[in-house]
A and B are shown apart, each in its own frame.
Chain A
């Protein structure tokens, strides 16, 4: 009988060893330890044995039962602790995102920089009055800038603003001096379209007015703005320019972003890229908006965000920007 028990134990342990599913282990457990198991039979037949035998077999059976129970528990624990999932974890994932327009991204970046320098972002109407677009900016009635060929005049006597500069006037008249504002916005020029020309594009206007504002300040602001925008140290230089609403007026060049100023095809070997127009605000413009040019001076600048976005994202054809073609615009993800 003793051998029978030991053999049974051996058999159970061997069978258990081969198993690795929870259900099989449970079945096996029922087979060897369940109510109808041999071990149970033997246990219940214990009462029929002699005292001598009882003394020997009792502890053995109990010990065996305990050992088997432990073995089954251990096995179950083992199985439970190493549950495996069955799937292909190497499959790719696709993140579905929308997109912001490249102009929105560039305008946001530039206005963020300007805001850190203390500029307030203002905006104004796209359908504008002649007064704000021209007169108040020292552009008299017979100035070429007013020609039908570049201005969209409207049936109600107004026009579509040709630049963001009317924002200067509106800001001066609303807030007075001192003042530090910038204004990104859509502007319109009655032009034939090609890869480089659009009738609808974006500009960013900036203006600072205070006592003792100088050309030196203008250079500082423009160099800082451009260095931060292009994330590298750029140099700027001023050349004579002409705008009716600034005096002196400048054309501002920045050192070539490609060659850093050594000369390359992009900068036509000059080392400089034409960037924007700027200047000291014309005394007539200050006067028109109720600011005393003897007390205050200021500077203003304005450049094309559209052109900047094209430079930044290497967009070759300006018409992509107003095409609404998602294939092209979806490239620009949200930052």
Chain B
């Protein structure tokens, strides 16, 4: 929101004592965030009032005129392109050497004639956006006077962050800001001039059908408004604060909104019959002032007139009631609507206006009648002949009364560790418009209604008022006096980090972060239909993931454009059966020919995750977690029959999605289960005193025999001296497969005798041969 300091000065006693350029750092610290301070009028120089005394058409140009103007002392030849020039016109002249919009103006030839300066339009003067003609001043304006001394061109404009005013409806107008400035600088806030409206005429026909949505509705009828020209001072103010000046009737309502924060509306009185505030019918349409036809809903609060829609309450009026050039009588609306209802309607209609932005903040209904009296006062200044033809008709079903909040003195102390005197408390609260009664151990505070609609309701709110004016920077820091309060959840966080670090450092994997939803293109390209919780109001990327590995495929695909080989992982949330689940997914991708390598690498990672970090032994069980995984190479990872996750290989469609001739292996660990899996204690095992014997056997099998099958043969072979046997090498031939198995024999009680070893050899050979296999020597 833009604030004009010239305007603020009008509400503050001895305002000239305040440094309005440097006030705003303090304002940021005490009230709300100031985003910028701009000085206006310093790009304007050598600009004086002047009168046109001669006016001729340029001989060769339709548009240009040759003027002679006077500043009362000297005459100047000016070439001017404005259409509204005429003899006797009083306007603004920038002389040779002067400056407008920061540009130096020099005498020069224009279309063959010398021009000793320029007559200015409002946009050139920086005080408006209009460029239809040069600015005309009242004909009785003294000549040769510095324009800047006549009108409030020099100003300081302050931009306040709207977000920081979210909970301060009272600060959406200059008067509220002035109140805060007074509180910060110890000045007094001046009252504003209002017009007394006698209660001796007819009441207007106004009804509120939904008092829960319309807190108050004030109406006033004014006639004989013959002058519809906005005074230049107000035009400049409106321009500086970001509004467009149109005509007096519209401008004065905007001025009121900027002054008191109260949105107002002026309807052409000729069309007003009876005003009703009520909800719309579902799917009715209504064309707003901006010419757009809008579809209403049964929750849209409307102003109706003679059973026809007249305006969308608190948001925008309709085309029918617009102020026209010949409008001389108006119906003024000053109302207060429910914040939530206005906000919802504005969001639903996609129509946020200055008015709706203010109503959304919960305005003070007690401002409605003040604003209407103020508006009448301002109109009267420009239209002394105007007639008020109705009573101030005020429909106010449940008047809002000031609220009383009790603040205990020890609570103030507890929050701040500062001892405030009663005087300090009373002074700061009073400066903000609160009334304070000092009790023994508490303050009884009466909250003005402009602070009570939303902002202030309890003691903590009062503490904020006292402390912010005292200055947060004056609070000393104090260390916490708390003992350690470690809770068990800590370990979950640690374990996630430990596993991430393990994967990155030991297996050189890269951690990624991805989105909670599936990429729609991925699903489409892989011909997958996923049924899961979805995001409302979205058609793309809207299905939450239930498979972390699948959701990471686009990242694998993208990285394969830059690398031959990719290894990424993430610990993240998936949504399964309407519940949050934590998963670890690792994806390894490489050239198709390296499938065995990455598969084995993945297998090693799985074993190491459980063995190295948990000391737990896993079992594999062939299982396909979902339809788009390969049946032959996908395995469930089990610990004591419980599934901990999967080592899985995507089917051809998904694998081809990441690229041609690629191999892709995924690991998905149920991280909730993994975290709760204990780290097994490893007990010390005494090293045998007696030597062991190592025997290597190379077993020849047929090519289609897997190691798993060989194990099925080796497992049943029993000899009490076998301490361990394991695969130490494989060798692939055209039709055969060679597995070298290492047997370690030994005993805890003695050194083995050679006959015991020989017996093992003999029995083992026999077992192998019996199973149709051959041992190579």
Contact = CB atoms under 8 A, between A and B. Distances in A.
Q: Do A and B come from one complex?
A: yes
Interface of A: 96-101, 103-104, 108, 111, 115, 117-118, 120-123, 125-127, 141-142, 144, 147-149, 152-156, 158, 160, 175, 178-181, 184, 186, 188, 199-200, 208, 210, 212-217, 219-221, 223, 237-242, 247-251, 270, 280, 282-283, 297, 321-327, 329-330, 334
Interface string B452-471: 00000011110110011000
A154 B559 contact: no
Given A141-B340, A160-B516, A239-B29, A96 B508 contact: yes
Contact of B33 (A115, A156, A251): A251
B343 A144 contact: yes
Contacts of A111: 493
In this complex, which of B339, B341, B415 has the most chain A Cβ atoms within 10 angstroms of its Cβ? B415
Contacts of A208: 480, 482
B501 interface: yes
B360 A144 contact: yes
A98 B508 contact: yes
Contact of A104 (B482, B497, B508): B497
A123 B671 CA distance: 14
A98 B580 contact: no
- Does more than half of chain A's interface fall in helix, strand or loop, or is it mixed? mixed
Given A210-B482, A250-B472, A99 B511 contact: yes
B562 A326 contact: yes
Interface residues of B, number: 87
Contact of A152 (B168, B467, B503, B535): B535
B552 interface: yes
23 contacts: A103-B513, A118-B485, A121-B492, A123-B492, A127-B533, A142-B343, A144-B343, A178-B485, A180-B482, A214-B414, A214-B417, A215-B417, A219-B475, A238-B475, A247-B458, A247-B461, A248-B415, A248-B461, A248-B463, A280-B415, A322-B514, A323-B555, A325-B558
Given A144-B166, A240-B468, A325-B558, A98 B504 contact: yes
A240 B567 CA distance: 47
Contacts of B33: 239, 251
Given A98-B504, A216-B416, A242-B167, 8 more contacts: A98-B503, A99-B504, A148-B347, A212-B414, A220-B480, A238-B472, A321-B513, A327-B562
B7 interface: no
Contacts of A249: 464
B512 A154 contact: no
A268 B489 CA distance: 41
Given A120-B487, A142-B340, A325-B558, A240 B516 contact: no
Contacts of A147: 343, 347
Contacts of B620: none
Interface in B486-516: 486-487, 489-490, 492-494, 497, 500-501, 503-505, 507-516
Contacts of B344: 142
For the complex of A and B, 5 pairs with smallest distance between CB atoms:
A142-B340, A324-B555, A248-B464, A98-B504, A238-B472
A121 B544 contact: no
A151 to B, nearest CB: 10
A324 B512 CA distance: 5
B537 interface: yes
A145 B467 CA distance: 26
B473 interface: yes
B544 A324 contact: no
B498 to A, nearest CB: 11
A126 B516 contact: yes
Interface in B143-172: 164, 166-168
A112 to B, nearest CB: 10
A321 to B, nearest CB: 6
Interface string B552-595: 10110011001100111000110100101000000000000000
B370 to A, nearest CB: 26
B455 to A, nearest CB: 9
B470 to A, nearest CB: 11
B648 interface: no
A219 B476 CA distance: 8
Given A214-B415, A283-B460, A240 B511 contact: no
Interface in B292-335: none
Contact of B510 (A156, A181, A217, A326): A326
Contacts of A210: 481-482
A295 to B, nearest CB: 11
A156 B533 contact: yes
Contacts of A237: 29, 472-473
A220 B475 CA distance: 10
B557 to A, nearest CB: 10
B28 interface: yes
Nearest to A199: B515
Given A322-B515, A329-B512, A154 B477 contact: no
Given A175-B487, A215-B475, A220-B480, A297 B536 contact: no
Contact of A97 (B478, B504, B572): B504
A254 B198 CA distance: 56
A188 B489 CA distance: 23
A248 B164 contact: no
B38 to A, nearest CB: 14
Contact of A127 (B416, B464, B573): B573
B533 A155 contact: yes
